[in-house]
Amino acid sequence: MSEPAPEVPEELFREVKYYAVGDIDPQVIQLLKAGKAKEVSYNALASHIISEDGDNPEVGEAREVFDLPVVKPSWVTLSVQCGALLPYPFVR
């Protein structure tokens, strides 16, 4: 029996425009969408890069060229659990 999906505070991620790099758990994507995040198709348009793989060239470009925060999917789930966007010590 799987755990029920956590309740996402309405509009928790409304300021987040994310670009996902690599394989991200579909539940994490659902949490973002439930919190009104917007997925963008190009990292230069993003406010956050979500990735498990810090060595991916797209992650390096986002960090070095565009100076974007790169967060792990756990940042999303922990933000939902806390009911607020967590600060960026969760950034790699």
CA atoms within 13 A on the CB side of 5: 15
* Domain that residue 51 falls in: 17-84
* Tally of CB atoms within 10 A around 1: 3
Residue 31 has φ and ψ, to the nearest 5°, of -60, -45
Q: What is the pLDDT of residue 5?
A: 67
Per-residue pLDDT of the chain (92 residues; tens, 9 = 90+): 556 667 899 899 999 999 999 999 999 999 999 999 999 998 889 999 999 998 899 999 888 888 899 999 999 999 999 999 998 765 55
Angle value at C-alpha 45, between 86 and 19, nearest 5 degrees? 55
Note whether residue 10 is domain-resident. no
Residue 1 is assigned to a structural domain of this protein? no
Q: What is the pTM of this model?
A: 0.87
Residue 35's CATH number: 3.40.50.10190
How many structural domains does the chain have?
Answer: 1
Is 23 a member of any domain? yes
The answer to the question of residue 64 being in a domain is yes
Answer whether residue 56 is part of any domain.
yes
